[in-house]
Amino acid sequence: MDADRGQLIKNLLTEINRGGVRDRDVLMAIATVPRDAFVRTEAQHQAWENRALPIDDGQTISQPLIVGLMTQALNLTGNERILEIGTGSGYQAAVLAELAREVVSIERYSSLAETARKRLADLGVSTVRVVIGDGTKGWPEGAPYDGIIVTAAAPHLPQALEQQLSRKPGARIVIPIGSPDDQELMVYERTDSNLREYTLGPVRFVPLIGEQGWQE
């Protein structure tokens, strides 16, 4: 790795650590996954900056701080099966693949899904399965999941996702919920008796569009 790139990665880790990403494994995963491989040629110089960047079909690759906070909130130990809604560039899925056993990632745009699949294969990431569909309905074939992460903004928690979350205490859904313009990053965590909910703070995501999300 050249010295400049190494320094950019170090600066990014310092910034997201200050922003609340304290889990060393999550920081390591963010340092390991080459974010520059997931952003457009014209945005290469910003690949290691703590900001969301445009990808195709009017979508975005999320800000690294948010990727870190959402991943950390899943509290992964390495043995989990995770469902991601909103593959986008495939970056978040690649970060999850560093920390979990298996990831199913759903994207509604087939072009984005195909590009992400190819990118992940080129990087040798073999534990992510990218599927095309309406993620508001989850992916029942793969259920139950130990963790579900939604990387687009929902009006409410889609019922299908709650149903497809494992019953084991500690299983979690991380999802931005609110209006199309601003949301709270919510965590729903299974306990012995119910689903405990808490917020990680305000965020702004592109809309989750589908049967149990926003209409197009």
Per CB under 6 A, the segment of 68-76, 131-139, 159-167, 176-184 that binds ligand SAM is 131-139
Binding residue (CB under 6 A) for ligand SAM from 96, 112, 157, 173: 112
Asked, as a colleague might, if the bond just before 54 is cis with ω within 30 of 0, I would say: no
Q: Where are the beta strands (DSSP E) in the chain?
A: 53-54, 60-61, 81-85, 102-107, 128-132, 147-150, 172-178, 183-190, 195-203
Binding status of residue 188 toward ligand SAM by CB under 6 A: no
Using alpha carbons, select from 125, 148, 118 the residue that is nearest to residue 136. Answer: 148
**CB-based contact 208:154 (threshold 8 Å):** yes
Binding status of residue 164 toward ligand SAM by CB under 6 A: no
Which residues have CB under 8 Å from 207's CB, separation 6+?
152, 153, 180, 213, 214
Minimum distance from residue 209 beta carbon to ligand SAM (Å):
4
Tokens 């200050």 label which residue?
Answer: 18
Binding status of residue 98 toward ligand SAM by CB under 6 A: no
Q: Where are the beta strands (DSSP E) in 22-178?
A: 53-54, 60-61, 81-85, 102-107, 128-132, 147-150, 172-178
Per CB under 6 A, the segment of 27-35, 43-51, 86-94, 191-199 that binds ligand SAM is 86-94
Task: State which residue, 188 or 205, has the beta carbon closest to ligand SAM.
Answer: 205
Minimum distance from residue 196 beta carbon to ligand SAM (Å):
25
Q: Is 62 a catalytic residue?
A: yes
Per CB under 6 A, the segment of 17-25, 57-65, 71-79, 190-198 that binds ligand SAM is 57-65
Amino acid letter, residue 162: E
Binding residue (CB under 6 A) for ligand SAM from 115, 151, 164, 183: 151
Binding status of residue 147 toward ligand SAM by CB under 6 A: no
**CB-based contact 33:95 (threshold 8 Å):** yes
Binding site for ligand SAM (CB under 6 A): 59-62, 85-86, 88-89, 91-92, 106-109, 112, 134-136, 151-152, 205-206, 208-210, 213
* Catalytic sites, residue numbers: 62
